Chains A and B, each alone.
Chain A
Amino acid sequence: MNLILEKQALQDLLQSWRQNYDVYLPQKLERFSHFMPLTETSVLVTDEPHNTRIPPKSLFLPMTEALVKFTRYGGYEDARHEIQPRIVFGIRPCDAQAVQLLDTSFIQDEYTDPLWLERREKTITIGLGCHEPCLNGFCTTVGYGPFNKADLDAILTDMGDVYLVETFSQAGDACFQGLPVAAEETYQEALAVQHSAHDQMPVAFETENLKEKLEQNFKNNYWDEVSQSCLGCGVCTFLCPTCFCFDIVDETQRRERVRNWDSCMFRTYSLEASGHNPRPSRVERTRQRISHKFVYWLDQVNQIGCTGCGRCVRYCPVGLDIRSMLRQAHSLPFEVSHAI
């Protein structure tokens, strides 16, 4: 359904959702925006031409989460707390797409992460399309777009004084119940906005044969070159909406087993108990990060594991840019493999 939402009416609508849901939306925190619970005084940030700094994956996979609490005499109890039904409002299409990509890893026939699943089932996501494409992002290059609709219950298109709301599910319909239906012309106008945003995004790098090139140049000097100024911090991975690695730690002093975000850019990530480290330097770790997104994801689920949100580009402390890294990778030699 296509509906019209006056911008002035947005605040009231958001507040009305609070009766039945926990509402999360981007709000100002220091110099950036961050998904925080809606309160009476919350101010929604929609005018930023880029994403929130911490990706909304943190709403589904918290940075630190207690799994089990140990009790005396060798027992333990569940440390999970109950999750209320919630609405995540203002999620950008790249981030929503990323959450859907993560489903492939957390929800599988054989192994399903109950914590992830519970949060996913209880969450309604309402997206906000990017009518003003961000400079660091490259969503169209990796096959998505500024109005990508995957995993959204509804998406908003900014049209000056009003939003055009497109709903894709019953839950989405219910959230926007009672709004006037958009005229066909308005809808066409919105589509024009969407297309123009899509067309404004430049092609950042070629993806054709990229996988083969990266695979075949596993031992190329290229990796030394691109990783030499890398600091080895976790900014790119922690701010990445599709990075999902975690580490399970027993906090003995708190008597809890917790799950923390982990990053393949850390030395301790691949360190083995024997002291051997299969990825001993930043070269191997950078290779792992890039290859995971552009090779291994493709092997496993046949999708690129990057949604082009541009956070790693924007916040890398040394200005490393995955776009230029992959452009460079594209000029690497490779042989076309002929499938039998």
Chain B
Amino acid sequence: MPEKPKIALFQCRWCLYAPADQEWVDTQLPENIHLTKTPCTGRINPLYVLNAVQGGADGVMISGCLPEQCHFKTGNMAARRQLEEFNDFLDYIGYDKQRVRFVWLDLQDRGIIQKQLAAFEQELDDLGPASNLVTRVKVAEGGQNA
């Protein structure tokens, strides 16, 4: 069986309002998904995303709240500006834009995250494993800096 794409999931701890959804994410995530919970999407430093990318994530999913529903008023707006730009920037230097996915959840939503993850996984499957910018695993040996 081919390996499933590795997904780094950054989740705002307020965005899954339904306890069942949150519990699913906390306890039943498939093994190929690595969860990082943050207090707000605004807390997601682009460095976190870069670390995931360099460490070999085939895709990065960021889930947060809709505008005006942020627990901290504008954290998600700040995140949106930064991470959207970071995504464009990574695309510019070679990490496909489609490998980063934003999911903005309404507090009324139920059972969305599972579907989104499944769909994302499907798309990543089609894209194949990421190779650009995946550098952490490689050791510098020889080369011009040796």
Min CB distance B134 to A, Å, is 13
Kindly identify, within residues 56 to 80 of chain A, every residue whose CB is under 8 Å from any CB belonging to chain B. 58-59, 62-64, 66
B144 at the interface (CB under 8 A from A): yes
Residues of A within 8 A of B137 (CB): 254
Among B55, B140, B144, the residue within 8 A (CB) of A36 is: B144
Residues of A within 8 A of B142 (CB): 37
Q: In the complex, what residue of chain B is closest to A79 when comparing beta carbons? A: B139
Min CB distance A249 to B, Å, is 14
Min CB distance A255 to B, Å, is 11
* Consensus secondary structure, chain B interface: loop
Among A34, A37, A253, the residue within 8 A (CB) of B55 is: A253
Contact A58 B146 (CB under 8 A): yes
Contact B140 A253 (CB under 8 A): no
Among A34, A36, A66, A253, the residue within 8 A (CB) of B136 is: A253
Cα A29 to Cα B136 with chains together (Å): 25
Total A-B residue contacts, Cβ distance less than 8 Å? 20
B31 at the interface (CB under 8 A from A): no
A31 at the interface (CB under 8 A from B): no
Residues of B within 8 A of A276 (CB): none
Min CB distance A254 to B, Å, is 6
Contact B139 A66 (CB under 8 A): yes
- Contact A29 B144, CB 8 Å, known A253-B136, A254-B136: yes
Contact A64 B145 (CB under 8 A): yes
Q: In the complex, what residue of chain A is closest to B51 when comparing beta carbons? A: A253
A338 at the interface (CB under 8 A from B): no
Counting chain B residues whose Cβ lies within 8 A of the other chain, the interface size class is: 10 to 19
Kindly identify, within residues 93 to 132 of chain B, every residue whose CB is under 8 Å from any CB belonging to chain A. none
B3 at the interface (CB under 8 A from A): no
Contact B144 A34 (CB under 8 A): yes
Residues of B within 8 A of A256 (CB): 139
Contact A62 B136 (CB under 8 A): no
Cα A64 to Cα B137 with chains together (Å): 15
Contact A58 B141 (CB under 8 A): no
Min CB distance A68 to B, Å, is 13
Min CB distance A53 to B, Å, is 11
Residues of A within 8 A of B55 (CB): 253
Residues of A within 8 A of B136 (CB): 253-254
Residues of B bordering A, CB below 8 Å: 55, 136-137, 139-142, 144-146
17 A-B interface contacts by CB (under 8 A): A29-B144, A34-B144, A36-B144, A37-B142, A58-B146, A59-B146, A62-B146, A64-B140, A64-B145, A66-B139, A81-B141, A253-B55, A253-B136, A254-B136, A254-B137, A254-B139, A256-B139
Residues of A bordering B, CB below 8 Å: 29, 34, 36-37, 58-59, 62-64, 66, 81, 253-254, 256
